[in-house]
Amino acid sequence: MSASKAKSTRKHQRSESEFAVSDKRNRVEDDFDLDLSNDIKGIMSALHQIREKAQKDGQKKNEETISSVAADIKSMIDELKSKFEKDRQIFAKALSKSSKECENSLKNETARFQALYEKFCKEKASHLQALKGKRERSMITEQEKACGDKIAQLEESLKKKKQDDKTFSILRKTLGSFLGNASDEDFPPDD
């Protein structure tokens, strides 16, 4: 037993010494784990701070980029507004000049038209007067011709009548000479 007791005691001592080493190791490991945990926590905290700073820097950079782009856009819009205003003024001047030219041209054409219209009215009146005069002359000519024809007819008729009168007078004279009682006084002289 003594050998078995000694074995058991040694086993127990070894177990105790192992336990002490193991316990010591566990303590060291616990201390190491605690230190490691604290270091990891510190590292994690530093990483969180770095990430937050990076996010803030990124956000700041994004804000700066947005602000820069907004400033560029505003500058471009201001340039476009300025160019548009210049173009509008140039167009307005050209339009005003063109409008004045058109107005002057219209005034000139109106004056020309008025002059032509007045000339037309005068010529129309003179043509109407001339036409009226031609009609009157034509009517007068027709009347003169008709009157001339009537006068010619009347003259012809008068000549015939005179001739008939002469013939009648000759006949009377001839008859009177046959009859013996006719005198020249009874017959008027011939024309």
Encode pLDDT of 51-110 as tens digits: 888 888 878 888 888 888 889 999 999 999 999 999 999 999 999 999 999 999 999 999
103: containing domain: 2-186
In-domain check, residue 40: yes
In-domain check, residue 14: yes
Q: State pLDDT tens for residues 150-181.
A: 888 888 888 887 777 777 777 777 777 766 65
Mean pLDDT of 145-154: 87
Q: How far apart are CA 98 and CA 103, in angstroms?
A: 8
Q: What is the pLDDT, as a whole number, of residue 186?
A: 53
Q: What is the pLDDT, as a whole number, of residue 74?
A: 92
Q: 7: how many CB neighbours lie within 10 A of its CB?
A: 11
**Whether 182 contacts 172, CB under 8 Å:** yes
**C-alpha distances in angstroms, 107 versus 35, 92, 94, 99?**
104, 22, 20, 12
- 45-49, 110-114, 163-167: lowest mean pLDDT where? 163-167
Number of domains in the chain: 1
Flag whether pLDDT at 119 surpasses 70: yes
In-domain check, residue 47: yes
Flag whether pLDDT at 9 surpasses 60: no
In-domain check, residue 168: yes
In-domain check, residue 140: yes
In-domain check, residue 89: yes
**C-alpha distances in angstroms, 33 versus 22, 43, 44?**
15, 15, 15
**C-alpha distances in angstroms, 104 versus 51, 85, 92, 97, 116?**
77, 28, 18, 11, 18
**C-alpha distances in angstroms, 1 versus 9, 12, 14, 16, 162?**
11, 15, 19, 21, 219
Question: What's the whole-model pTM score?
Answer: 0.36
In-domain check, residue 112: yes
In-domain check, residue 191: no
